[in-house]
Amino acid sequence: MKCWLNGAFCALEDARIAPDDRGFLLGDGIFETLLADGGDVRHAGLHLARLSGAARLLGIKGTYSQTAIMAAMRRLLRENGLQQDRAALRLTLTRGTGARGAAPPADAKPTLLLTAVSIPPPPSSLRAIVSSYIRNEKSVSSRIKSLNYLDNVMARNEATARNLDEALMCNGAGMLASASTANLFLVTGGVLRTPSVDEGALPGITRGRVIQAAAMQHIEVREGGITRDTLREAAEAFLTNALIGVCPLVEIDGSPIGGGVEGPLTHKLRV
């Protein structure tokens, strides 16, 4: 398999990240995961715009244009024989190398890595727990795809230990914020509800598209204020991200949600 590292294609086993790269040492960086299907990179403009916005927020200077990155993604799919496959593309951007210490170096040269791998179709449904790990809604990491992903990793590990698919995470106030790798939606009284960004929800690309689709279909959307009890009483629920799209959440902590099957509004909002 090949990757694209700092503007050059190379074999994955030959790619080298500097030992003093701040992404490796400090998690000082961001990433985006994109879906490619049959060679078509889905919603690439939205993902690259989010990456650029996060880079500006962190003060990481970009070195490649969106046009160059798009060309690299298309070529990488070809180089790896993934033009006809369902594939996950991952862009990882770090601040780059620098002297020891937390303070960002003024002259850091960013590292940009692009990888691609074939992936299976999304699951038909998901089962989850509410994790004991929280999502810090006051952290900058809650608003971007940060390389600081340890809380999410530990939350997912809890679910894996119980042979489940996902882990929902509450924020510091006890409100549901997200899943470990996805946004959360549920339906109560015909209203579509989802945690707000202020509560720790990542401003997900698929999340935004679902909200837009609901508005176009005159479905009321309410953001924020979702507790564990709200979820348990929901008529239906689903999770969203770039790779799974809209996927029904049919069980939480061993109890079925709704009838334990995909609900009608979930089906209607598949984007």
Residue-level pLDDT at 121: 97
Residue-level pLDDT at 107: 85
Residue-level pLDDT at 6: 96
Q: How confident is the model at residue 106 (pLDDT cuts 50, 70, 90)?
A: confident
Lowest mean pLDDT, pick from 32-41, 55-64, 177-186: 55-64
Could you tell me the sign of the dihedral formed by the alpha carbons of 117, 122, 123, 127, in that order?
Answer: positive
Tokens of 255: 């109890």
DSSP letter string over 109-149?
A: --EEEEEEEE-PPPPS-EEEEE-SS-B-TTSGGGGTTBS--
Would you say residue 207 has pLDDT above 80? yes
Question: Phi/psi of residue 185, each to 5°?
Answer: -130, 150
Tokens of 5: 């590292």
Would you say residue 153 has pLDDT above 90? yes
In tens, the pLDDT along 213-233 reads: 999 999 999 999 999 999 999
In tens, the pLDDT along 114-146 reads: 999 999 999 999 999 999 999 999 999 999 999
Residue-level pLDDT at 61: 86
Residue-level pLDDT at 129: 98
Would you say residue 100 has pLDDT above 90? no
Strands 245-252 and 126-130, bridge-based pairing: parallel
In tens, the pLDDT along 5-28 reads: 999 999 999 999 999 999 999 999
Residue-level pLDDT at 90: 98
Instruction: Give me the domains of the chain, ranges plus CATH numbers.
Output: 2-118 (3.30.470.10), 126-268 (3.20.10.10)
Q: How confident is the model at residue 208 (pLDDT cuts 50, 70, 90)?
A: very high
Tell me the CA end-to-end span of the chain in Å, nearest whole number.
Answer: 30
Residue-level pLDDT at 216: 96
Where helices occur in the chain by DSSP H, the ranges are 22-26, 44-58, 66-79, 150-161, 205-216, 228-232, 264-268
Nearest to 148 by CA among 200, 106, 94: 94
Q: At which residue do the structure tokens 């799209």 appear? A: 245
Region 73-85 average pLDDT: 97
- Whole-number mean pLDDT of the chain? 96
Would you say residue 62 has pLDDT above 80? no
